[in-house]
Amino acid sequence: MPREDEIDGRVRRGQESREARRAQIKEIALRVFSEQGYHATSVSELVSAAGVARGTFYQYFDSKDAIFVELLDDLIDHLRSNIVGVDLSESAVPMEEQLRTTIVRILETVVNNRPLTRILFREAIGLHEGVDARMGQFNDELHGYVARSLQVALALGIVTRAHVEVSAACVVGSLRELVNRLVVATDEPFDLDVVAGAVIDHHLRGLLPR
Amino acid sequence: MPREDEIDGRVRRGQESREARRAQIKEIALRVFSEQGYHATSVSELVSAAGVARGTFYQYFDSKDAIFVELLDDLIDHLRSNIVGVDLSESAVPMEEQLRTTIVRILETVVNNRPLTRILFREAIGLHEGVDARMGQFNDELHGYVARSLQVALALGIVTRAHVEVSAACVVGSLRELVNRLVVATDEPFDLDVVAGAVIDHHLRGLLPR
Amino acid sequence: MPREDEIDGRVRRGQESREARRAQIKEIALRVFSEQGYHATSVSELVSAAGVARGTFYQYFDSKDAIFVELLDDLIDHLRSNIVGVDLSESAVPMEEQLRTTIVRILETVVNNRPLTRILFREAIGLHEGVDARMGQFNDELHGYVARSLQVALALGIVTRAHVEVSAACVVGSLRELVNRLVVATDEPFDLDVVAGAVIDHHLRGLLPR
Amino acid sequence: MPREDEIDGRVRRGQESREARRAQIKEIALRVFSEQGYHATSVSELVSAAGVARGTFYQYFDSKDAIFVELLDDLIDHLRSNIVGVDLSESAVPMEEQLRTTIVRILETVVNNRPLTRILFREAIGLHEGVDARMGQFNDELHGYVARSLQVALALGIVTRAHVEVSAACVVGSLRELVNRLVVATDEPFDLDVVAGAVIDHHLRGLLPR
DNA sequence: CATGAATGAGTTTTCATTCAT
DNA sequence: GATGAATGAAAACTCATTCAT
């Protein structure tokens, strides 16, 4: 009969390596998916790239769908955690600074997760009901957050003349397009602060001279 | 031996019916694709919906890919034809009016081609190299057009302080997001003029009070 | 534009060859199943034995299950059609003769369908819910038929002292076992009339001398 | 260095626990197999139900087949031990009484081993060569025993007019069918003595009035 | 030109068995 | 002797495309 701690040790070691293996497969799958796309990637490629057997893959993930969804959820969670409310009380950090911080954070997240972001932008639409729903939900969250902020700002007189829904769509669409151009379509680095500043300036002050 | 004009007639009739048949298949494919998506639509569904045999389908289109790409090209051509240069000469129609017209036209086009637009937004990414290239190209065209216009406007002093690339991305992204929300995600009608006006106002004057 | 009868001809020819192909695949599947058993037979073996491609098989049958169930249903239908009510009216053919005829018919059917019968007896249990249900249903039908006949015969005083359920089970079980021994377990021919007579004699008069 | 008896003790304890472990796994496997059937039961289910690791299972049994065959052999041995020769000497217990006893014993055995019996009747056919052989062998044994008994009885004039092979098949088939109906298909209890009596009466005296 | 039966490479997934720890 | 992660052969099934009629 093995001693208690021996069992614990085994179990712990097992769990550690299980987690490690799982993470390893996810990491490689992320790379392969982002290089080849979801449909062009077969489970065979996944397992041979990860250097494990077919069955091993299925011990850790229920299906090709499942690992893909998990990868996407990871990024969406990352992004969601960067949406923080803007504090409009007088004592707070200036609104523009707060906005800049949020945008910089979002851009940082996607820059640091280029492969996932690419998948998200290139593959994650029309692929899978669950993914679509999650994506739509995140987009709606973002839109709702911006719209509500605009409402408050309107009420406080901080902004004016806004068609809230349209303006919210403009803000969200601008971010998506920037991510698309700066992160998805190219590998070239860019200055986050400059971009964030320019976006905020664009949306707050518009193109016409004042 | 048939007479000359009889042959001509046959050929013409043949060609007419060829074109008609082709158009009919495309029309039905458009419907089916936009209802079910590219991957979820099999050639079987296409041919049975069109009421032709599998082989017939392949006499008109090289592959499932091919017809899909053709449908997308059609829409992109439609959209492209709506991008017209803004005339900034003093004698011209006021710039804001010109912009409004362009945006209204683009929105009209996508509203009138909801199924295709849906495919374009929901399916046409990460699906097929050729499609990706075309989509990217169109997006770049739009971006380039907006950026060049901004350059000119900057030079003329009509707009100020613009980070051209970022602002162009904001404009393009705003349009994409609006199309996405207003046309792709819902069937509800909306007032094109109001939306176009709000977009232009947003981008020209910004959110802050002047 | 093809003439009416040309279309009809094509369609008819098509249907003929479809039916023929279907029957051919069924026939070969029957042989392979009865030789190797259901589980030991893969679709690959089926199609290579039939000399058709995998896809062809699936054009005619939904699944491996489906063709198997169809084969079994064929035999069960055969057998069911041989269960005919016994006419006990005075003017009728003598009861014993009627029973003999029914039993001879059943034995003939199974003898003429040895491969299917073998599958039915060796494979068709615990394999598939639908098959189980059908088999159970047929067995119950047979049992019910015998039991009802016994009830009537009891009422008419033709038989006596019967524990109806047990006797019905004895009759049905006897038939099953005979089929098992004479048809399933061996290829040797036997005299149907002799066996049928012996069975009837056994159940009607019993083993003890009178 | 351990003392002799200490080693013996270890070995004995080891063997005891080996046997106990083995029996425990068999017992649980019996339950799971009879609930779900052979094919529907995976080794995973077996080991998780038994609370042992996969590898442990394979230390006690060569394969999934092996444990199943062993379970069947157990039941067949049980049943075989209940077949005892009928003593026809004048001084013996009356033949009918002896037959009744044998039948009651067999029914008791299967009633007391419902799970195994169910496996035997529902699964153990066409599953595995070895199992098939064993089942066939037992069936033949039973048949042979009944046939020889009939031969003797014929010679002694106790029974008359018997087509020995057919009558033996009737007797064996009747038992199988009764077991099937009373034990396999239902959980309801029944009066063994009544059923045994009815069977014997049926086969000895037949259905016709005397 | 139209037809639709035939094709077969390719996909995802399962699960009995092994073996390093 | 116990463990359970890893294995990979093998299975069922799909569907875009071809080609004889």
- Chain A residues with CB-CB distance to B115 below 8 A: none
What's residue A46's pLDDT? 94
What is the mean predicted confidence (pLDDT) over B73-88?
Answer: 77
Task: Report which of residues A65 and D94 the model is more confident about.
Answer: A65
Report the protein residue whose CA lies nearest the C1' of nucleotide F11.
Answer: C42
* Spatial distance between the Cα atoms of D142 and D175, rounded to a whole number of angstroms: 10
- Residue that finishes a domain, picked among D39, D61, D83: D61
Q: Is B168 in the A-facing interface, judged by CB distances under 8 Å?
A: no
Report how far apart, in Å, the C-alpha atoms of A67 and of each of A42, A184, B34 are.
12, 21, 27
C78-87, C114-123, C140-149: range with lowest mean pLDDT: C78-87
Q: Residue C169: which of D121, D123, D177 has the nearest Cβ?
A: D177
List the single residue in A with minimal CA-CA distance to B190: A166
Q: What percent of chain B has pLDDT over 70?
A: 86
Residues B112 and B190 in one domain: yes
Q: Is A140 in the B-facing interface, judged by CB distances under 8 Å?
A: no
Q: Is the pLDDT of residue D130 over 60?
A: yes
List the single residue in D with minimal CA-CA distance to C198: D163
CB–CB contact D207 C160 (8 Å): yes
DSSP assignments along C44-90, one per residue: HHHHHHHT--HHHHHHH-S-HHHHHHHHHHHHHHHHHTT------ST
- Chain A residues with CB-CB distance to B150 below 8 A: 207
| Dihedral angle computed from the Cα positions of residues B165, B170, B172 and B175, in that order, rounded to the nearest 10 degrees | -170
C170-184, D14-28, D54-68: range with lowest mean pLDDT: D14-28
Q: Is B151 in the A-facing interface, judged by CB distances under 8 Å?
A: no
For C37: left if phi > 0, alpha if psi spans -120 to 50, otherwise beta; the answer is left
Residues C33 and C54 in one domain: yes
Task: Report which of residues A199 and C124 the model is more confident about.
Answer: A199
What's residue B29's pLDDT? 94
Instruction: Rank A110-114, B176-180, C181-185 by mean pLDDT and report only the highest.
Output: B176-180
What's residue A78's pLDDT? 82
Q: Is A198 inside a domain boundary?
A: yes
- Chain A residues with CB-CB distance to B163 below 8 A: 194-195, 198, 201-202
A188 HSE (CA, 13 A, CB side): 6
D189 HSE (CA, 13 A, CB side): 4
Q: What is the pLDDT of residues A72-101, one digit of tens each?
A: 888 888 888 877 666 667 767 777 888 888
Determine the structural domain holding residue B42 and report its residue range. 4-61
What's residue B91's pLDDT? 67
Interfacial B residues in 53-112 facing A (CB < 8 Å): none
Q: Is B194 inside a domain boundary?
A: yes
Interfacial A residues in 30-49 facing B (CB < 8 Å): 37-39
What's residue B83's pLDDT? 72
CATH code for position A159 = 1.10.357.10
A167-171, C15-19, C93-97: range with lowest mean pLDDT: C15-19
Residues C189 and C130 in one domain: yes
Give kind and range of the element (H or E) at residue A76. helix A64-80
Which amino acid appears at position C15 of this protein?
A: Q
What's residue C201's pLDDT? 94
- Chain A residues with CB-CB distance to B180 below 8 A: 173
What is the mean predicted confidence (pLDDT) over C100-114?
Answer: 89
D193 HSE (CA, 13 A, CB side): 1
Q: How many CB atoms lie under 10 A from the CB of residue B155?
A: 10
| Alpha-carbon distance D109 to nearest alpha carbon in chain C (angstroms) | 19
What is the mean predicted confidence (pLDDT) over B103-127?
Answer: 82
SS3 state at A57:
helix
What's residue D172's pLDDT? 95
SS3 state at D158:
coil
* Spatial distance between the Cα atoms of A171 and A156, rounded to a whole number of angstroms: 20
Instruction: Rank A38-42, C152-156, D64-68 by mean pLDDT and report only the highest.
Output: D64-68
Q: Residue B37: which of A126, A150, A209 has the nearest Cβ?
A: A126
CA-based nearest residue to C70, from C119, C118, C26:
C26
Quickly tell me which residue has 């049958």 as its tokens. C61
Q: Residue A159: which of B153, B175, B207 has the nearest Cβ?
A: B207
Residues B50 and B135 in one domain: no
Q: How far, in Å, is the CA of A23 from the C1' of nucleotide F6?
A: 16
Q: Rg (Cα) of chain C, in Å, rounded?
A: 22
CB–CB contact C170 D180 (8 Å): no
In this structure, are residues A170 and A159 in contact, taking their beta carbons and an 8 Å threshold? no
Helix axes C64-80, C129-155, angle to 10 degrees: 10
Contacts of residue C149, Cβ cutoff 8 Å, sequence gap at least 6: C85, C86
Q: A–C contact (≥3 CB pairs within 8 Å)?
A: no
What's residue C2's pLDDT? 41
Q: How far, in Å, is the CA of D165 from the C1' of nucleotide E5?
A: 52
Token representation of residue A75: 């990024």
- Residue that finishes a domain, picked among A37, A61, A85: A61
Q: D–C contact (≥3 CB pairs within 8 Å)?
A: yes
Average pLDDT, chain D: 85
What's residue C1's pLDDT? 39
* Spatial distance between the Cα atoms of D114 and A42, rounded to a whole number of angstroms: 47
In this structure, are residues B61 and B70 in contact, taking their beta carbons and an 8 Å threshold? yes
Q: Which nucleotides of F are covered by protein (CB under 7 A)?
A: 1-20
Residues B156 and B139 in one domain: yes
What's residue D200's pLDDT? 94
Which amino acid appears at position B35 of this protein?
A: E
What is the DSSP code (8-state) at residue A35? H
A163-177, C112-126, C173-187, D170-184: range with lowest mean pLDDT: C112-126
Q: Is C130 inside a domain boundary?
A: yes
Token representation of residue A9: 């040790």
CATH code for position A27 = 1.10.10.60
For C115: left if phi > 0, alpha if psi spans -120 to 50, otherwise beta; the answer is alpha
Burial of residue C65, with CB atoms counted within 10 A of its CB: 0-12 exposed, 13-18 middle, 19 or more buried: middle
What's residue A10's pLDDT? 45
Q: Is C166 in the D-facing interface, judged by CB distances under 8 Å?
A: yes
Q: How far, in Å, is the CA of C63 from the C1' of nucleotide F13?
A: 8
Q: Is C50 inside a domain boundary?
A: yes
* Spatial distance between the Cα atoms of A44 and A39, rounded to a whole number of angstroms: 12
Q: Is D188 in the C-facing interface, judged by CB distances under 8 Å?
A: no
What's residue B185's pLDDT? 84
CA-based nearest residue to B202, from A156, A199, A193, A192:
A199
In this structure, are residues C209 and D157 in contact, taking their beta carbons and an 8 Å threshold? yes
Instruction: Rank A159-163, A206-210, B43-47, D2-6 by mean pLDDT and report only the highest.
Output: B43-47
Q: How confident is residue D168, by pLDDT bands cut at 50, 70 and 90?
A: very high
* Spatial distance between the Cα atoms of C24 and D193, rounded to a whole number of angstroms: 53
Residues C79 and C175 in one domain: yes
In this structure, are residues C166 and D126 in contact, taking their beta carbons and an 8 Å threshold? no
Q: How confident is residue A5, by pLDDT bands cut at 50, 70 and 90?
A: very low
Residues A151 and A127 in one domain: yes
What's residue A177's pLDDT? 95
Q: Is B210 inside a domain boundary?
A: no
* Spatial distance between the Cα atoms of A81 and A84, rounded to a whole number of angstroms: 7
Residues B16 and B108 in one domain: no
* Spatial distance between the Cα atoms of B67 and C29, rounded to a whole number of angstroms: 40
Q: How far, in Å, is the CA of B28 from the C1' of nucleotide F18?
A: 23
Count structural domains, chain D: 2
Q: Is C210 inside a domain boundary?
A: no
Q: Is C20 inside a domain boundary?
A: yes
- Residue that finishes a domain, picked among D61, D82, D109: D61
| Alpha-carbon distance C76 to nearest alpha carbon in chain D (angstroms) | 18
Q: What is the pLDDT of residues A100-154, one digit of tens each?
A: 888 898 899 889 888 888 877 877 666 667 777 788 888 898 899 889 888 888 8
Report the protein residue whose CA lies nearest the C1' of nucleotide E11.
Answer: A42
Q: Is the pLDDT of residue D33 over 60?
A: yes
Q: How confident is residue D198, by pLDDT bands cut at 50, 70 and 90?
A: very high
Give kind and range of the element (H or E) at residue D72. helix D64-80
Residues C92 and C166 in one domain: yes
A159-168, A177-186, C61-70, C92-101: range with lowest mean pLDDT: C92-101
What is the mean predicted confidence (pLDDT) over D93-120?
Answer: 86
Q: A–B contact (≥3 CB pairs within 8 Å)?
A: yes
What is the mean predicted confidence (pLDDT) over B155-184?
Answer: 91
Q: Is C129 in the D-facing interface, judged by CB distances under 8 Å?
A: no
Q: How far, in Å, is the CA of C52 from the C1' of nucleotide E6?
A: 8
pTM: 0.79
What is the mean predicted confidence (pLDDT) over B71-92?
Answer: 76
Contacts of residue A61, Cβ cutoff 8 Å, sequence gap at least 6: A25, A67, A70
Q: Is the pLDDT of residue C191 over 60?
A: yes
What is the mean predicted confidence (pLDDT) over B25-51?
Answer: 91
CB–CB contact C207 D162 (8 Å): yes
Q: Is A168 in the B-facing interface, judged by CB distances under 8 Å?
A: no
Token representation of residue D197: 């009596």
Residues A123 and A144 in one domain: yes
Binding residues for strand F (Cβ < 7 Å): A 10-11, 14, 17-18, 21, 52-56, 58-60; B 42-44, 54-55, 58, 63-65; C 42-44, 54-55, 58-59, 63-65; D 14, 17-18, 21, 52-56, 58-60
* Spatial distance between the Cα atoms of A181 and A171, rounded to a whole number of angstroms: 15
A74-83, A187-196, B191-200: range with lowest mean pLDDT: A74-83
What's residue C22's pLDDT? 93
Q: Rg (Cα) of chain B, in Å, rounded?
A: 22
| Alpha-carbon distance C170 to nearest alpha carbon in chain D (angstroms) | 4
Residues A196 and A129 in one domain: yes
Q: Is the pLDDT of residue B28 over 90?
A: yes
CA-based nearest residue to C176, from B54, D125, D194:
D125
A152-156, C8-12, D190-194: range with lowest mean pLDDT: C8-12
Q: What percent of chain C has pLDDT over 70?
A: 87
Q: Is the pLDDT of residue C11 over 80?
A: no
Q: Which nucleotides of E are covered by protein (CB under 7 A)?
A: 1-20
Q: Is C16 inside a domain boundary?
A: yes
C-alpha angle B208-B191-A162 in degrees, rounded to nearest 5: 10
In this structure, are residues A109 and A82 in contact, taking their beta carbons and an 8 Å threshold? yes
Give kind and range of the element (H or E) at residue B17. helix B4-36
Chain C with chain D: Cβ pairs closer than 8 A: 154
Report the protein residue whose CA lies nearest the C1' of nucleotide F6.
Answer: A56
Closest nt by CA–C1' to D18:
F1
List the single residue in D with minimal CA-CA distance to C36: D126
Q: How many CB atoms lie under 10 A from the CB of residue C83?
A: 15
A64-73, B114-123, D196-205: range with lowest mean pLDDT: B114-123
List the single residue in D with minimal CA-CA distance to C196: D166
Q: Rg (Cα) of chain D, in Å, rounded?
A: 22
What is the mean predicted confidence (pLDDT) over A189-201?
Answer: 94
Q: How confident is residue A55, by pLDDT bands cut at 50, 70 and 90?
A: very high
- What is the per-residue burial (b if ≥16 Cβ within 10 Å, else e) of C135-163? beebbeebbebbbebbeebbeeebbeebb
What's residue B94's pLDDT? 78
Q: How confident is residue C161, by pLDDT bands cut at 50, 70 and 90?
A: confident
* Spatial distance between the Cα atoms of B70 and B66, rounded to a whole number of angstroms: 6
In chain C, how many H helices and how many E strands? 9, 0
SS3 state at A191:
coil
Residues A56 and A79 in one domain: no
Q: Is the pLDDT of residue B45 over 60?
A: yes
What is the mean predicted confidence (pLDDT) over B62-87?
Answer: 83
